[in-house]
Amino acid sequence: MSTAATNPVPGPPPGAAKNRIGLTQADYKGSKSTLCPGCGHDAITNSIVTAAFELGLEPHRLAKLSGIGCSSKTPAYFMSRSFAFNAVHGRMPSIATGVHVANRELQLLGISGDGDTASIGMGQFVHLIRRNVPVAYLVENNGVYGLTKGQFSATADVGTRAKTGRVNEMMPIDLCALAIELGCGFVARSFSGDPKQLRPILKAALSHRGTAVIDILSPCVTFNNHEGSTKSYDNVKEHDAPLHDVSYVPAHEPIMVDYAPGETREVRLFDGSRVTLKKLDHDYDPSDGMRAMVTLRQAREEGKFVTGVLFANPEKPAFDREVGMVEQPLSSLTLEQVRPGRSALQEIMTSLRTGAGAPVSAGGG
């Protein structure tokens, strides 16, 4: 066997824990990260690895998709046994749409950034949500363009200062508020520095049948981690305002945590798994989109980052239902299934000969 194979399959370390499909956590890893040491994105990558391992995802059933930017490089750093499509800048949603339609059995994990989504990719992001293409869409949001060395992105907060000293005066685009407005069925915000919250949210997003948007504040240690930046690690940590304690319960497991009645809210997902949200200071109802918008608006005015499951409507039908495709993935249809028979061509030729029932027309006019 060639040692130069594309994806070397590492053997599990002796005695490593195995998940329900017999894989170890190492089986969910990728190649070594080339991002700056301490980058928030690497923390997210680690959370993805753990979440995928704990969920027992089958690597071949998941496709990793991304655009361009620091965040979009990260699919190389996890799950190397999964297929990946690192697309052009801002256009991952269209790739996701095509992949989903070709093979509805594939689970899609999209990794994007604030530049990739909120600026160049805004159009495709919006239409992905509108179609409700099943994809867990992660925005690794640091408020700057990292790969091009620190320009503001469209999620930069008003008054935040760049490393160069420039101050942003323009309103940030709140991707969560936008997603809720568009009727997205699962919208969450989290923080790369809070894996305890991020992991269950990732699991929930991967279990949701529809577009799931997670906006993850992920400080850029090189270009946006200084004093005066609202998206520095310290500032996010200080102003992180969790709405609830999030936990994820897989479909095959009973709820183990015992909460007092009225203390939790539960969201049931497509595959039978559940997200439980334990009340903190206030009760928060994730099915109330209006409330979510008000909460986001208030938080912005107070300079806080509300994190948790902001909105959930798991019942919304996903895109493949809208399109009306056969159950079998289109990619696996045989020639016999997709080439109409001789009689069909004959019928069409007759209609074109006689002019009856033919969609042929003389164009406009």
Partner 1 sequence: MNAPTPNRVNEFNLHVATVNGSGSQTANTTLLRSIFQMGVPVGGKNLFPSNIAGLPTWFTIRVNEKGYLARQKANDLLIALNPETAAADIAAMGPGSVTVVNEGIPLPAVPADRTVHVVPLTKLVEPIVPDARLRKLVVNMVYVGVVCHLVGIDPEEVDRALAAQLGRKQKALAVNREAVRAGLEYARANLPTAPFRIERRTLTDGKILIEGNTAGALGAMFGGVTFVAWYPITPSSSLAEALQNYLERYRKDPTSGASTYAIVQAEDEIAAIGMVLGASWAGARSMTATSGPGLSLMTEFVGYAYYAEIPAVIWDIQRIGPSTGLPTRTSQGDLLTVAFMSHGDTKHVMLFPSTVDDCFKYGMTAFDLAERLQTPVFVMSDLDLGMNVWMSEPFDYPEKPWDRGKVLSDEEVARLGKFERYRDSDGDGIPYRTIPGQKHPLAAYFTRGSGHDEQARYTESSETYPRVMDRLSKKYDTARRLAPGPVIDRAPRSNVGLFCYGSTAWAMEEARDLLRADGIETSHLLLKAYPFHPDVRAFVESCERVYVVEQNRDAQMASLLKMDMPDLAPRLRSILHYDGLPIDAVSIVEGVRSLEREEVSVR
Give me the least distance between CB of 162 and partner 1, in Å please.
Answer: 27
3-state DSSP call for residue 206?
Answer: helix
Tokens of 363: 């164009």
Residue placing its CB nearer to partner 1 in the complex, 256 or 338 = 338
Q: Which residues contact 330 (CB under 8 A, 6 or more apart)?
A: 101, 102, 103, 104
Give me the least distance between CB of 39 and partner 1, in Å please.
Answer: 17
Residue placing its CB nearer to partner 1 in the complex, 36 or 101 = 101
Residue placing its CB nearer to partner 1 in the complex, 47 or 80 = 80
3-state DSSP call for residue 317?
Answer: coil
Tokens of 282: 């206030």
Residue placing its CB nearer to partner 1 in the complex, 91 or 278 = 91
Residue placing its CB nearer to partner 1 in the complex, 124 or 218 = 124
Residue placing its CB nearer to partner 1 in the complex, 257 or 333 = 333
Give me the least distance between CB of 184 and partner 1, in Å please.
Answer: 16
Give me the least distance between CB of 105 and partner 1, in Å please.
Answer: 7
3-state DSSP call for residue 10?
Answer: coil
Q: Which residues contact 19 (CB under 8 A, 6 or more apart)?
A: 53, 54, 55, 56
Residue 151 CA to residue 218 CA, distance in Å, equals 16
Within 10 Å of residue 90's Cβ, how many Cβ atoms?
24
3-state DSSP call for residue 69?
Answer: coil
Give me the least distance between CB of 130 and partner 1, in Å please.
Answer: 8
3-state DSSP call for residue 265?
Answer: strand
Give me the least distance between CB of 264 and partner 1, in Å please.
Answer: 37
Rounded to 5°, angle at Cα 35 from 225 and 142: 40
